[in-house]
Amino acid sequence: MANTFFYLIIAFLILNFLLENGLTLLNYFYPQKPLPLFLSKVYNQEKYEKSQAYEQAKLRFGLLVSVIQFIVILIFFYFGGFALADTIVRNISEHYILQNLLFFGLLAIVSDIITLPVSIYHTFYLEAKFGFNKTSIKTFVFDKLKALLLVALIGGGILTLIVFIYDLSGSNFWWLAWLTISIISLLFTAFYSEIIVPLFNKQSPLDEGSLRSAIETFAQEAGFRLNNIYTIDGSKRSTKANAYFSGIGSKKRIVLYDTLIKDLEEEELVAVLAHEIGHYKKKHTVIGISLSIIQTGFMLFILSFFISKDSEIAIALAQAVAGNNEHVNASFYLGIIGFSLIYSPISLLFGLFFNFISRANEYAADAFASKYGQTKALGMALIKLTVNNLSKIYPHPIYIFFYYSHPSLMQRLKRLNESEFDD
């Protein structure tokens, strides 16, 4: 059985690599059409060519990184890298929970060492080359250190709790872990903007003035109670603009990047907020959280069959992950690694489903804004964001289907009614 798992994992790694990079190449060589008239008024030819160069550069870089990662993972797996990590943690400690913390901590360190040059190149060369990067070396270093600390504290704490449940609960593991993770996810969703975001960015209530008044007037018109409108200093890292809705219940808030306020007119900002309010009014956040919880439960239920203590499946999977090493014993951490690789086809299907739902939600939120007379303002906001972020105007439809959580600009404008932008 271990031999079957071993070659199954290799097959999934290869198929995933071929699919991912095949789609990347498909999108890379997809011909770009001339700009339509209504876009050419905002998006000059020089900017359009720059956006294509940026997208091509990102795709080339992504392809290179994918190849390197694939080779590293395949070598690490095939030649028993996980078995070596298993031996190291067992020699350090006999405590089961500590072994799991050490194993995943060791993998995190190795992964970070490998990805650090990628992150540096992407931030300080690729993004800088096209005028986006505003991250200083100091900010970059402190971001990394804070992220590592959060992973160690929060990630380590959650892992400890899950392993503790696994060690004591037996066949009840999957639903106890599901309940625990669901509660943590809800708390994280509610308090993310209050606890995590301030560690990296400064958030401030939107100042009193015409913009705040316009937003509050629209919110009242739409029947939406909105007390928390914040701005965030996104410009300390990038010139790219964004806005998002976070929190649940009394903790809900809308956050505007300072770059967004700089790039858009007041009526366009109101339209963007109308779109975000549309997500809330149509319960997209609640639906998204619910679907995520259901997916987690399904995954944990399937996982329970692969990590059941001392079962033949758990032992075979651990040996397969360890490079088909028959001397390796079953463990929670090796089971998790093996399951994550075997589960990848199901994960892909879930990803396609969630992207489909997300794109439908974006259309619905656009329609909500349009219902309140924001059609043209929202369309112009989307165009300006696409121009300023150098986003690809015509991505390949299949690439959109697999990877886009939002419809492309042209798809959204078509739904909003492109004739609105002809004058």
Report the sign of the C-alpha dihedral through residues 406, 411, 417, 422, in that order.
Answer: positive
What are 174's two structure tokens?
A: 């999957």
- Which residue's structure tokens are 């078995």? 83
* Residues classed as catalytic: 276, 366
State the pLDDT at residue 385: 92
pLDDT tens digits, one per residue of 352-408:
999 999 999 999 999 999 999 999 999 999 999 998 999 999 999 999 999 999 999
Determine the Cα–Cα distance for residues 211 and 9; give it in Å rounded to an integer: 54
Determine the Cα–Cα distance for residues 167 and 202; give it in Å rounded to an integer: 41
Considering the chain, what percentage of its residues have pLDDT values greater than 90? 74
Determine the Cα–Cα distance for residues 86 and 334; give it in Å rounded to an integer: 8
Confidence of residue 247 (pLDDT cuts 50, 70, 90): confident
What are 382's two structure tokens?
A: 């989307």
Instruction: Answer yes or no: is pLDDT of 205 > 50.
Output: yes
Per domain, the residue ranges of the chain are 1-423
The reply to whether the predicted model has a pTM over 0.75 is: yes
Strand partners, 245: 254
pLDDT tens digits, one per residue of 57-113:
999 999 999 999 999 999 988 888 999 999 999 999 999 999 999 999 999 999 999
State the pLDDT at residue 107: 93
Determine the Cα–Cα distance for residues 19 and 22; give it in Å rounded to an integer: 5
CA distances from 354 to 3, 392, 417 (A): 33, 22, 26
**Planar angle of CA 193, 353, 54, nearest 5 degrees:** 65
Instruction: Answer yes or no: is pLDDT of 310 > 60.
Output: yes
